[in-house]
Chains A and B, each alone.
Chain A
Amino acid sequence: MAMPHDVPTAAQLIESVREWLEKDVLTSTTGRVQFHSRVAINVLAMVERELAMGGQQALDHAARLAILGMKDDAELATAIRNGDLDDRFQEVVDLVRASVLDKLAVANPSYALPTSND
């Protein structure tokens, strides 16, 4: 979809703020403010990853829902709750897990890797 905005892109704007937090704020603060700066850096990095990957993830998520004949998460959640998918339980687990891995790839990419085989 065409946007009327100039350079920088939304992703580049966020990146610029994140870099400022990393270079200036983190190094000149201590304690609680420094901790919250680190949190802010993580939040912005998360948004950057979502902007980069979100489009493809939305298509993949819709495709997984379609396999189960669902239009959205709300319909899927209700079907699971009502037991309508009990006979496809493992298939549903695998599909929902794939979406969770996509969420982790945005929220905290390092989480699943080191101990995924424990």
Chain B
Amino acid sequence: MQGYEEPCGLGEGVLESLLPCRKRGRVREHRGVSATVSPLEQLSEALRTELGAHAVTELARLSGGASRETWSFRADDRPLILQRQRKGDIRDMSVEARVVQAAFNAGVPVPELIANGSGDIGLAFMILSHVEGETIARKILRDEQFAGARSGLVAQSAHALAALHSIDATTITGLPSIDQVQQYRETLDNLNVALGQAHPTFELAFRWLERNRPTSTRTALVHGDFRLGNLMVGPDGLRAVLDWELAHIGDPIEDLGWLCVRAWRFGATQPVAGLGDYDTLIAEYEKASGLKVDREVVRWWEVLGTLKWGIMCMIQTSSHVLGMSRSHELAAIGRRVCENEYDLFLALDGKW
């Protein structure tokens, strides 16, 4: 059932702006048909005014959900990306804009923040430079044109992570700081009640996480969704780290563990993003950050990341089962949670 993986990346283009949990199997909107002519012209005019441009052309929607949209356009021939937020988005895009700017200043490869604010363009919006490249994991992992990029991506990712973790998170206002074990514990409890089921595997994982919790020695800015799919890659390697909407304050090793979650290997065998081994990731991160990494802490975050992804899959299937979005694709995801359970047992066994 490899085909199920495709909605994660199929034709999504750049700068996806949805929660990772909504990526698998979400209904994709076709380009250009989502807006009638009039709102499109209004948006075009608002962008032209915001940027002080003579002309805005080729405005086209790339992706979007109920609360966020991504558009591409040209302002006086310069290719740009718009991300905008609508009512109902629980996150505040102005925080994300501050994070992207801070990352840019710290030398992390990111799109350049051209403008941000709120008003005619959207409840909140960001205009970013367009970075050319590929985000679809399966292409990056398999296409010949990325063979050269693949050999250096783990080291480049480690360096980007070290750079973003060096940012003084206290300078960015509005960043959330949440205990993720508690957050997902509550989410699972709510899902179990709503769906009328119990999950012994996930309880084992929570119990293990509780009993093996590392004493966190560092807090830093954490990207929160650092993996293939959110990295813009060219034949020359990593070009930009995208999708900062889940950025928060936490233990930076979370980003390393998440990058190793088995789902993000997209069927490839190498543990780090399907691209490389733990030794390379850790050695390169230690070299770039000057800090020692405890492998058991990476493993703890990998177990939590695997558990999180399983719970996210439950959320998706619940939207079908509870009637919010009827779809046999979403229904089938519920039966794929056992793949995630299988991964959890591998991680718990230390077969990582």
Q: Which A residues are within 8 Å of any B CB, using their own CB? A: 32, 35-36, 38-40, 42-43, 46, 72-74, 76-78, 80-81, 83, 86, 89, 92-93, 96-97, 99-101, 103-104, 106-108, 110-112, 115, 118
Contacts and interface: CB of A to CB of B under 8 A. Distances in A.
Contacts of A42: 1, 3-4, 332
A76 B351 contact: no
B278 interface: no
B4 A39 contact: yes
B98 interface: no
A101 B342 CA distance: 7
A72 B199 CA distance: 11
B203 A81 contact: yes
A73 B339 contact: no
Nearest to B268: A115
Interface in B315-352: 328-329, 331-332, 335-336, 338-339, 341-342, 345-346, 348, 351
A97 B345 contact: yes
Contacts of A89: 204, 207-208
A76 B329 CA distance: 30
B206 interface: yes
* Most chain A C-beta atoms within 10 Å of own C-beta, residue among B203, B208, B328, B329: B203
B335 A46 contact: yes
Contacts, number: 91
Contacts of A100: 201, 338, 341-342, 345
Nearest to B30: A32
B332 A118 contact: no
Contacts of B3: 35, 38-39, 42
A42 B207 CA distance: 34
Contacts of A104: 338-339, 342
B245 to A, nearest CB: 26
A16 to B, nearest CB: 18
A45 to B, nearest CB: 9
B4 A80 contact: no
Nearest to A95: B200
A107 B90 CA distance: 34
B198 interface: yes
A7 B247 CA distance: 57
B142 to A, nearest CB: 16
Nearest to B344: A100
A78 B199 CA distance: 9
7 contacts: A39-B329, A73-B200, A78-B198, A80-B203, A89-B204, A103-B335, A118-B346
Interface in B179-211: 197-201, 203-204, 206-208, 211
B336 A107 contact: yes
